[in-house]
Amino acid sequence: MAEQLSQSELDYPFKLLEYFNGFRVSKVIFSACELGVFDLLLQSQKSLSAESVSQELQASQDGMERLLDALVGIDILDVEITHGKAFYSSTDVANLYLAKASPKSLYNMITYQSQTIYPLWNHLADAVREGKNQNEKTLNMSSDQIFETLYRSEEEMLKFMQLMHATWVVDTHDVVTAFDLSPFKTMVDVGGCTGGLARELAKAYPGSTVTVFDLPKVVEVAKKHFSVPDDSIAFQEGDFFTGELPEGDLYIVARIIHDWKEEKCLQLLHKLCERCKPDGGILIVEAMLNENRRGPVMTQLFSLNMLVQTEGKERTPSEYFRLLSSAGFKDLQVRRTGKSYDCILGIK
C-alpha cells in the first residue's frame, strides 16, 4: 500500500512542494555546469566569493550569488562567512561528478539532459495523451525515425554518444560483475556505442575478447573521439536489425531493448538467439521496474523518458523473461545491482 501521509504533511504539504520545485533544482545544477562553476572552483583550490566567480565566468554578480546560494542549499557546494562576506567552495561530490576535468565526470550527461531531454519533457502531457514521442514538436523531426533524430548531425550524434559514455562512469563495474561471465570467451556488445561498457568487460574478463558492434557512423565517431591507447576491444560495423551479427558466446544488449516496441525487441532477440553459439548466452542490461509497480522511482521516470523520446519503455524482469523465452533463451536469471541498471542472463 502507498505510504500514509502524516498529519503534519496533511497540514502543510512539504513533500509535494519539494516535488513541485524539482525542475528548479535540476535547472540549478544544469546551469551551474553550463556556466563552468564547478570547473572554476575545482581549479581554484580555494574558496571564492560570488564577485570573483562572476568575474571569472563573465556573469552578473547578483545572479551568480543566488545560484551559488541555491547550490549550497542542495548540498552541492559549501559556504563560509568571513567578516560578513560569503566564500564558496566545492564539495567532494561536485569535484568528482560535476567538474569536466574529473575522470568520473557526469558533465556530458548533465548538458544532454538540459539541452535535449528537458525541452522534450515540456511536452510530457502531450506524450501521455498521444502515446508517442515528442520529437516532432520539440525538434521538428519525425516521431518515427528515432535514431535518425538522435544522429541528425555529427554534433548531435557526439552529444548522444557522450551521454551514453557518461552513463557507464558510475554503473559499469556493478553491471559487468553481476554474473560471472568468465566462461564466455567471445563477447559482443550489441549497439555498444563508444565502447565504455566493453572496455570494463575486457578489464574484468581478460581471458575473453570483446567486440563492439554498431552502425558504421557510430564506430567512426567512437574511434575519432573515444579511442584509448592500446585498446583492449575491437569494433565491427553493422546494423543489428538488418545486417549480419558477429559470432559470439555472449551477446551484451545494454540499454537497447528499452528503445523499441515489443515486435522489434522480439525481432532482435530472435536474431541474437539464432546467431548465438550452443550454450552461449545473452546479457540484458536495463533499468528494471519492480514487479509490484511501486518503483524504483528513477526507473519509472526513465520509462516516461522513453515515451517522450523513443518508442520504447522500461519493463519488469518478468516482462523481459517473457520476451527472452519467446526468442528461445532459457535458464533466465536476474540480478539487481541496487544501482540504476540491473541484469538478466539467459542461455541458448
| Separation of alpha carbons 317 and 82, rounded Å | 54
Strands 209-214, 281-286: pairing is: unpaired
Closest alpha carbon to 89 in 57, 55, 43:
43
Q: Are 308 and 121 in contact (CB under 8 A)?
A: yes
User: Would you give the DSSP letter of residue 311?
Assistant: S
Q: Tell me if residue 213 falls in helix, strand or coil.
A: strand
User: What φ, ψ does residue 165 adopt, rounded to 5°?
Assistant: -65, -40
Cα angle 176, 95, 57 (rounded to 5 degrees) comes to 135
Q: Is 258 in the active site?
A: yes
- Tell me how crowded residue 18 is: count the other CB atoms within 10 A of its CB: 10
Q: How far apart are CA 265 and CA 244, in angstroms?
A: 17
Place of cell 523499441: 260
* Preceding peptide of 119 cis, ω within 30°: no
* CB distance 253 to 213 below 8 Å: no
3-state secondary structure string across 224-260: HHCCCCCCCCEEEECCCCCCCCCCCCEEEEECCHHHC
- Contact present, 240 and 268 (Cβ < 8 Å): yes
202: nearest Cα among 237, 175, 176, 165: 176
Find out whether 243 and 266 touch, Cβ atoms under 8 Å.
Answer: no
Pair 240, 275: CB distance under 8 Å: no
From 123, 173, 258, 270, the catalytic residue? 258
Residues classed as catalytic: 258
